[in-house]
Amino acid sequence: MGVSVGPISGSSKYYSPEGVPFRRVHLSTGEHFDLYDTSGPYTDAAATIDLEQGLAPRAGVVRDRGTQLQRARNGEITAEMAFIAVREGVPAELVRDEVARGRAVIPANHNHPESEPMIIGKAFGVKVNANIGNSAVTSSIAEEVDKMVWATRWGADTIMDLSTGKDIHLTREWILRNSPVPVGTVPMYQALEKVGGDPTKMSWESYRDTVIEQCEQGVDYMTVHAGVLLRYIPLTIDRVTGIVSRGGSIMAAWMLAHHRESFLYENFGELCEILARYDVTFSLGDGLRPGSIADANDEAQFAELRTLGELTKIAKSHGVQVMIEGPGHVPMHKIVENVRLEEQWCEEAPFYTLGPLATDIAPAYDHITSAIGAAIIAQAGTAMLCYVTPKEHLGLPDRKDVKDGVIAYRIAAHAADLAKGHPRAQQRDDALSKARFEFRWHDQFALSLDPDTAREYHDETLPAEPAKTAHFCSMCGPKFCSMRITQDIRAAMNEKSAEFLEHGNRVYLPLSS
């Protein structure tokens, strides 16, 4: 079993005095630029990686003082909150306050000390989740661990292990012990596998045991489709694509077979008690999310969202942290309504959406169709975006798809951070653009989301090292490079300015000065 290790090109691992890791980009000007870093020890040249052994647990995990939510309400700034404050560049009190209000969550199971603390909430940087996991058709444990490391290398803030094939428990164990980010699951998948894949054979008892098993193992957040109620199923009957959530469709099949209300809904209080013991965060699943443009924002979807609001209150009354999952497939003009209703009905619990895809017509490019929707929904206040890969609707993503999905979603998240005026966001754009304008090619690559591919594309036509300081690239060639010409213009203007000032003519001075 092997995974990608070593620093990202042009960067090295830097730990702040508080022990918070950053990706430090070294610029040719002698300056450096520190970036939020999700990649864990794998990109630390000094770290020894032993997958059999797992990552070293972080110190200071407190198991007997309740959840981050309970402690935040008590006015405590936990070790995790202090870490996050440095990581996000915000006051620790803001972190505590947002968690206490339920507007942010810190998914950190006491039994997953390998994970570096992070926060999901609209007052902080927009986060990205990458789904991995095998299916009955394809993949292995080694491949899934590799995908986990690979996804966090490129910027995944959390991982969901959605394995539905063989070795579900063991695959998750390997992932948890080696994951530097929180890990989410949908316990229903394993519960279903335990009864041979027949939804009608599931029971509350076996589901509950599966949840406890996963809590013990260290899963940080769990998708629970407790808002899919029996009476909502008929609302899906006229849809173009019915129920497209796996968990939602499984629960619907169970309810219909037994003609009973959802056992997740009926036993939600007990579920809260279990999750509270480990500080596992709820990700209340949108089992009735739209699976096509035609079904967006319909009655079924919003009926479930109202129920998720009820469940949010219950979970919080048990001190359990909660986030809310959102769609799916939504045309651009219907996206913002999703955020507004979620905020209104679910007490501003962090919204966590899958895309949404802004159109259905581009299978093989759904990382793009959905990055459009994701950027818009994040700008409106969504706290975490679940990536979509180019393989969505077509097959299980491989390593390349995982990277393509993560990069597309880092773009969406960053575009939203910029639009929201996140304090650190534009600094990176400015640093990269300045490097671009000054033809510091190496710096431009190093500051980018994917230095390797940026360099590779540049080098396809101009591979020689001198081209890395050349005042042009192959797009325009030397004579037509606007940035080179602008530099000449600036030099000329500086000359002229001095000249005209002597004659009292100010035409060349910036009008804005």
Window 385-414: residues binding a second copy (CB under 8 A): 390-398, 407-408, 410-412, 414
272 is in an annotated binding site: no
Binding test (CB under 8 A) with a second copy, winner from 266, 270, 474, 501 = 474
CA-CA distances (angstroms) from residue 477 to 434, 445, 462, 470, 483? 20, 19, 11, 10, 11
Q: What minimum distance in Å lies between the beta carbon of 258 and a second copy?
A: 11
Interface positions, 216-235, toward a second copy (CB under 8 A): 230-231, 233-235
Q: Is 215 annotated as a binding residue?
A: no
- Angstrom distance (rounded) from CA 205 to CA 187: 13
The angle, 0 to 180 degrees and rounded to 10, between the axes of the packed helices 335-345 and 366-379 is: 50
Nearer to a second copy, 68 or 353 (CB): 353
Site for a second copy in 313-332 (CB under 8 A): 329, 331-332
Q: According to the annotation, is 131 in a ligand binding site? A: yes
Chain centroid offset of residue 509 CA: 46
Contact string 436-465 vs a second copy (x = CB under 8 A): xx------xx-xxxx--xx-xxx-xxx---
**124 exposure class (CB count in 10 Å sphere: 0-12, 13-18, 19+):** buried
Q: How many residues contact a second copy, by CB under 8 A?
A: 129
CA torsion angle 421 422 424 429 (round to 10): -50
136 CB-side CA count, 13 A: 6
Enumerate the β-bridge partners of residue 34: 24
122-161 positions binding a second copy, by CB under 8 A: 135-138
Pairing of strands 158-161, 104-105: unpaired
The annotation status of 325 as a binding-site residue, yes or no, is yes
CB of 232 to a second copy, least distance (A): 9
Residues 251-310 contacting a second copy, CB under 8 A: 252-253, 256-257, 259, 291-294, 299
Query: Binding to a second copy by residue 39, rule CB under 8 A?
Result: no
Least separation, in Å, of the C-beta of 161 and a second copy? 14
Instruction: For residue 238, count other CB atoms closer than 10 A to its CB.
Output: 12
Q: Which span (84-92, 94-102, 145-153, 487-495) binds a second copy, by CB under 8 A?
A: 487-495
User: H or E segment at 176?
Assistant: helix 168-178
- Where are the strands (E) in 264-414, listed by range? 281-284, 322-326, 351-354, 384-386
Task: Please check if 288 is assigned to a binding site.
Answer: yes
Nearer to a second copy, 56 or 492 (CB): 492
Q: How far is the CB of 133 from a second copy (least distance, A)?
A: 10
Non-local CB neighbours of 247 within 8 Å, separated by 6+ positions: 186, 188, 189, 223, 225, 228, 285, 287
- Near a second copy in 150-209, by CB under 8 A: 164-165, 189, 192, 197, 199
Query: Is 247 within any annotated ligand binding site?
Result: yes
Q: What letter does residue 471 receive in the DSSP assignment?
A: S
Distance of alpha carbon 53 from alpha carbon 432, whole angstroms: 39
Give the residue ranges of the annotated binding site for [4Fe-4S] cluster.
Answer: 473, 476, 481
Binding-site entries for substrate: 131, 160, 189, 225, 245-247, 286-289, 325, 352
Provide the annotated binding site: 131, 160, 189, 225, 245-247, 286-289, 325, 329, 352, 393, 473, 476, 481
Sequence ranges of the binding site for Zn(2+): 329, 393
